[in-house]
Chain A
Amino acid sequence: MAELILKDVCKIYYKNKKPVEAVKSLNLKCRDGEFVALLGPSGCGKSTTLRMIAGLEDITSGDIYIGDRRINDLHPKDRNIGLAFENYALYPPLTVYDNIGFNLRAKKIPEKQIKEEIHKIAELLDITDLLDMKPAALSGGQKQRVNIARALIRRPEVLLLDEPLSHLDGKVRQKMRTEIKHLHTEINCTTIIVTHDQLEAMALADRIAIINQGVLQQFGTPLEVFNNPVNEFVAGFIGEPPMNIFNVVAIMENGILHFKTENSLIKFVVPEKYIRFVKEGEKYRFGIRPTDITVCREDDSYTVKTKVSVFENLGEECRIHIRLDNDNILSVVSSEIFHFKYGDEIKLKFNPERIHIFDCKTGQRIEKALQMT
């Protein structure tokens, strides 16, 4: 067990002789025993990063350390990592037992010890009954367990999981997610998971590294990235349904600074804490999570009065969608169940503590954008 450090790691591919920067100067420090998620849309460089840590991909520049060992030039088998592949990559001609033991056999460990280790791991992952079967006879969830068992039997210092749940469906996926979390608390091994599913990352990880187009956007605990997204990308990527983000202009009305949408549908007094960052006449991106909007009763003061476009009742919560203008839809999630139908009039109130304002050009959170200039 050890910490994992990525220092200025870059990866440049050549596609048709043109350089493509897959990973740009990535710095990441995972603490010993920490569960870290690399989260991002497909093609953002997260899998490449994982493969560089595993040694399946060359590092163009920068260094990777496990503990104090620099592993850049080590052969994959000497890095002391375990990797669970996305599509399981089990060896079809071998039984589950031999699949798991494959690595130990390569190390020429005595057969008796191999047997002990395999049974220990198999018990941990609840696959003891499957040991004599061939991979073709297993279900997706079982294959993934074997895959993880094979990664764990090496007693890795760092466990790497490459989209471990993406090929599983519905219930199995939920179950496996809980099991992975449980497994992590049990073995307490530094673990990196690559995923494009923000829910997975939020549920599993101690800290999440959000990557877009090869650049690390934010690295923080699930709560940090949820409550204080540093830029519009993170804000939009984390949370389901996604944060409502739309254009506003800051205007002065009766001596009070307001955010206003172009069609004046929404007018919102700029909260105290933002006043010193907001300039009159400037355009901003205004973000608010669907859960931070409440449906008002009768004569409460409200932020927006409009008509319902779509109403979804999901039983435990209901979702209301409102058309702001041609491009934007405002979503509201309420745990209180209402009964609306298309065209009903509705009054909504935004929670002023929970709004996010981003710079129109850079997409940075305005507090941050100003600090940087």
Chain B
Amino acid sequence: MKSNKVVSLLKDLGLLLYAMFALFPLVWLVIISFKHDREMFNTTFIFSPTLDNYRVLFSSGEFIGYFVDNLIVSVGAIILSIVVGVPAAYALARFDFKGKESIAFTFLSFRFAPEILVVLPIFLIYQKIGLYDTYFGLIWIFQVVSLPLMIWILRGYFEDISVEMEHAARLDGYSWWQVFIKMIIPLIKPGLVASSLLSFIFVWNNFTFSLLLAGQKVTTTTVAMLKYVSSDTVHYGQMAAAVLISSLPIIILALAIQKHLVRGLSMGAVKG
């Protein structure tokens, strides 16, 4: 009994230490965001808190614009990947066609090369065809990031659904579309939610593409951080506040669908 208690106490202690380690950057951010630039380097935990950083952030209205821009391109990219990815994953799971595996692999290979490697040619192409610094341009390049993930997660889900179930529904007199909406979508929902959220995180935090393919008319929050670095000083306080605000959507989303996320990534849809 006694040793059990000690073990569990040690476990808790270990977890606590790890939590502190993992969360410290966040805590640090929160602290900095409430500090005045004056106190930035000469105090650690003891300072007179101020809301100045947040005030500056929102007073100009600029930051809200960046935030909205980021939201538009991220949500746009996810919607585009769902619209393209769900049918693509279905086709890859269900139909036998020539070069099926090669196509599936090609999608995956989008994620092989580091973004910085491909951004230059894309930059040149975008300038030529007028996609540079547009919403659609960023959405288009972001779905390259999110689509492979979507396809590969959902393909597994579709493969788990028996074809006979679709046949049964056809015998029951439903059209393919009705079956898809009524039966298949509910079954792949955990996977859809999980892959959408993961893709959203990747896209939301993307820096390379946002920096090099946009930046004037369309500016995402990640790129906007750079604006707090001015020629004479770096406004760490404002930057920290901006970072905190821009990570909020992800934190809220992740907490809200935590249940789906764990289920969606850890198991297939229809077993047993």
Give, as a whole number of angstroms, the nearest-CB distance from B170 to chain A: 6
**B171 x A54 contact (CB < 8 A):** yes
**B169 x A91 contact (CB < 8 A):** yes
**B172 x A85 contact (CB < 8 A):** no
B-binding segment of A101-109, A110-118, A322-330: A101-109
Per-residue CB contact flags for chain B residues 155-174 toward chain A (1 = under 8 Å, else 0) read 00000001011011111111
Give, as a whole number of angstroms, the nearest-CB distance from A196 to chain B: 18
**A106 x B172 contact (CB < 8 A):** yes
- In the complex, the chain A residue whose C-beta lies closest to that of B269 is A92
**B172 x A102 contact (CB < 8 A):** yes
**B162 x A87 contact (CB < 8 A):** yes
B269 contact set on A, CB distance < 8 A: 92
**A85 x B167 contact (CB < 8 A):** yes
Residue among A85, A93, A107, A136 making CB contact with B168, cutoff 8 Å? A85
Instruction: Tell me how many residue pairs across A and B have CB atoms closer than 8 Å.
Output: 55
B9 contact set on A, CB distance < 8 A: none
**A89 x B162 contact (CB < 8 A):** yes
**B172 x A103 contact (CB < 8 A):** yes
Give, as a whole number of angstroms, the nearest-CB distance from B241 to chain A: 44
**A90 x B173 contact (CB < 8 A):** no
B186 touches A (CB below 8 Å): yes
- In the complex, the chain B residue whose C-beta lies closest to that of A81 is B171
Question: CA of A318 to CA of B169 in the docked complex: distance in angstroms?
Answer: 49
B99 touches A (CB below 8 Å): no
Most buried by B among A87, A91, A102, A107: A91
Give, as a whole number of angstroms, the nearest-CB distance from B95 to chain A: 14
**A91 x B167 contact (CB < 8 A):** no
Question: CA of A297 to CA of B83 in the docked complex: distance in angstroms?
Answer: 81
B168 contact set on A, CB distance < 8 A: 83, 85, 89-91, 150
A3 touches B (CB below 8 Å): no
**A89 x B172 contact (CB < 8 A):** no
B170 contact set on A, CB distance < 8 A: 56, 76-77
**B171 x A92 contact (CB < 8 A):** no
A81 contact set on B, CB distance < 8 A: 171
Residue among B167, B173, B183, B187 making CB contact with A56, cutoff 8 Å? B167
Give, as a whole number of angstroms, the nearest-CB distance from A74 to chain B: 12
Residue among A55, A77, A86, A87 making CB contact with B172, cutoff 8 Å? A77
B186 contact set on A, CB distance < 8 A: 93
Most buried by A among B167, B171, B270: B171
A76 contact set on B, CB distance < 8 A: 170-171
A103 contact set on B, CB distance < 8 A: 171-173
A150 contact set on B, CB distance < 8 A: 168, 172
Question: CA of A274 to CA of B170 in the docked complex: distance in angstroms?
Answer: 54
A residues sitting closer than 8 Å to B (CB atoms) are 54-56, 76-77, 81-83, 85-87, 89-93, 102-103, 106-107, 136, 150, 154
B residues sitting closer than 8 Å to A (CB atoms) are 162, 164-165, 167-174, 183, 186-187, 269-270, 272
Considering the complex of A and B, which 5 residue pairs feature the smallest CB-CB distances, nearest first?
A: A77-B173, A89-B164, A106-B173, A103-B172, A89-B168
16 contacts between A and B (CB under 8 A): A76-B170, A76-B171, A77-B170, A83-B167, A83-B171, A87-B164, A90-B168, A91-B165, A91-B183, A102-B172, A102-B174, A103-B171, A103-B173, A106-B172, A150-B168, A150-B172
